[in-house]
Structure 1
Amino acid sequence: MARDSARSIVLFTDEELNGITGVKKGEDFVEVTCGCTSPRYGDAVGRLRVFASGKLEVACECCPGCREDKLTPSAFEKHAGRENPRRWKYYVWVIVKGKKIPLLKTALLKYHEKVYGGSSYRGNKGKPCHRDEFVRCSICNKERRFRRQTKVDCRTYHDAVLDANWKCSDLPSDEYSCDDEEERASRRSIRGCSRTALCKGCTLCVCFGCEICRFPDCACQTCIDFVNNSPK
């Protein structure tokens, strides 16, 4: 973590908070608008505070006069009226670019996961897990799969994303050429998640930044922010 002033700790990069509604930065926390939807009672809205210590705290605003201002996300889920409340990472949401997005699909849990376990970017063997991604060739306009199982794999993909003129022949291997057919859509939906083959992004396969997929010698803003905000 870095500091942007004598008082404020930078917990999240601008990229990680991009599009999230109600962002407010405190001395050692970030606050955002959150909510939980009950099939019976509808939406309960609140304010989620994410602390550098990993603590998560919800101030409920479900109705005027509600005094529940220091709930855990699990308690907030129960307070909102969900039956069998035990999956708050799925059912407590934040608003990102106008859409309700589960907490587990954001970077907001990264400190909580580091302290309490269940990291959002750890695989079954405790190693950072990165799902396959695709980059479109600037010549043939076909999407090509990049497997990201090693640091070298991640760097190859990272550099390709930054290159607006990337083409199939830039791959270090001869895996693809512009003459090869593009993968079928049904095949492209399988991206290497260990939880489910057709996963669209979850805590097991989406990484918000680690030593494997961020690079100190890269000049892109994402890598610069990661290096500057990493514990020294």
Structure 2
Amino acid sequence: MSSLTPKKIGNMRYQIDADSSKGMKVPVTIFADEKLLAKMMTDRTIQQALNVSTLPGIQQHAIVLPDGHEGYGFPVGGIAAMDAEEGMISPGGVGYDINCGVRLIRTNLTEDDVRPKLKDLVLDLFKSIPSGVGSKGAIRLNHSELDEVLVRGVNWTIDRGYGTSDDADVCEESGQMANADPNKVSDRARKRGLPQLGSLGSGNHFVEVQKVAEIHDEEAAK
């Protein structure tokens, strides 16, 4: 087995140990089952994760999540934490998406509640959430309102009924970055982003309905 071949270290966890001769500063940790890992091995996902492990200032691990697949630089589904002083900033590491992240919303519904209405639910999701390249959201703003969004973040949406105060509690920076300055945003970025608020985008951007079938870690699930 090559030193750069992922080895299983736990349930749904694989690792490639750091190899300084390859320039690696940290190990690569992959969260996947055998089928997902095999799929990742068919493109440049793992190689891109190895590249990430060589970056200056990277901390502890280069991580690949279960949705990992080939990206522009980082693999899509890749995570890397960088030292604030020695690390690097890479605005286009994975891609150039607006706020590309993953959010899990738990409901109190059971499969028996949802399955009879699943078709209607999916149709309503498609109807309510614009998606695709260049899609335009239903929320219409002028430039001053966009400035308010940029400054107040998720609190702007909560005030307008698009969310609740609990949402802010589970957002990074509580959904509002201190000292946010909308004047730093270029006119080109404003023109692109103004009509897209409330849209989903394309590519790896998705909404899906899932059920919890099995709990592997009771503490993490709470």
TM class by shorter chain equals under 0.3
More strand by share: 1
Which fold has the larger relative contact order, with Cα–Cα distance below 8 Å and residues 6 or more apart in sequence? 1
TM-score by length of 2: 0.26
More helix by share: 2
